[in-house]
Structure 1
Amino acid sequence: MNAQIHEVAIKTIRKWRRLYQRQGLPRLGSGYPPTPCPRCDAAVLDGSAYAHLLGWYLGDGHIALGRRGVYVLSISNDPKYPDLNQQIAATMKLVKPTGSPCFRSGPATRVEVRWKHWPCLFPQHGVGRKHLRKIELEPWQREIVAKHPEQLLRGLFHSDGCRVKNWTSRELASGEVKRYEYLRYVFANESEDIIRILTETLDLLAIPWRRPRWNMVAVSRKGGVEALDRFVGPKG
Structure 2
Amino acid sequence: MEQHSLSIRAHAVALMNQGIPNRVVATQLNVPRGTVGWWRSEDRKARGVAYEQPTDCPRCTSRQFDEVAYAYLLGLYLGDGHIVSKPGQHHLSIFCNATQIGLIAEAERAMRRVMPLPSVSRRHKLGCVEVKSYTKHWCCMFPQHGPGMKHQRKIALEPWQQTITDAHPWEFVRGLIHSDGCRVTNWTTRLVGGERKRYEYPRYFFTNVSADIRRLFTDTLDKLGVEWTHCTRHGNPYNISVARRASVALMDAHVGPKY
Normalization by structure 1: what TM-score?
0.84
Instruction: Give secondary structure in 2 for the equivalent of 1:215.
Output: strand
* Residue 144 of structure 1: how far off its partner (Å): 0.3
Instruction: Give secondary structure in 2 for the equivalent of 1:44.
Output: coil
The CA distance in 2 between the partners of 1:97 and 1:104, in whole Å, is 19
Residue matched to 1:148: 168
Per-residue CA deviations over 1:169-198 (Å, capped at 9, x if unaligned) read 1113x3211211000100111000000000
- Structure 1 runs not aligned, ≥5 long: 1-16, 28-32
2:254 aligned with 1:231: yes
Alignment of 1:18-167 (within 5 A): 25-26=50-51, 34-65=54-85, 68=88, 71-107=90-126, 108-167=128-187
Residue matched to 2:34: none
2:220 aligned with 1:218: no
The CA distance in 2 between the partners of 1:159 and 1:116, in whole Å, is 22
Residue in structure 1 matching 2:210, options 186, 191, 194:
191
The CA distance in 1 between the partners of 2:97 and 2:57, in whole Å, is 30
2:225 aligned with 1:206: yes
Instruction: Give secondary structure in 1 for the equivalent of 2:206.
Output: strand
User: Is the CA contact (8 Å cut-off) linking 1:104 and 1:111 kept in structure 2?
Assistant: yes
Identical pairs, percent: 46
Per-residue CA deviations over 1:186-221 (Å, capped at 9, x if unaligned) read 011100000000001101101000011220001001
Aligned letter for 1:169? T
Aligned letter for 2:70? Y
Per-residue CA deviations over 1:109-141 (Å, capped at 9, x if unaligned) read 100001121111100000000011111111111
User: Is the CA contact (8 Å cut-off) linking 1:66 and 1:72 kept in structure 2?
Assistant: no
Aligned letter for 1:99? P
RMSD of aligned Cα (Å):
2.2
The CA distance in 2 between the partners of 1:148 and 1:216, in whole Å, is 23
The CA distance in 1 between the partners of 2:223 and 2:90, in whole Å, is 33
Number of matched pairs = 210
* Residue 35 of structure 1: how far off its partner (Å): 2.1
The CA distance in 2 between the partners of 1:183 and 1:93, in whole Å, is 33
* Residue 66 of structure 1: how far off its partner (Å): 5.1
Runs of 4+ in 1 over 3 A off after TM superposition: none
The CA distance in 1 between the partners of 2:220 and 2:177, in whole Å, is 12
The CA distance in 2 between the partners of 1:36 and 1:54, in whole Å, is 18
* Residue 87 of structure 1: how far off its partner (Å): 1.1
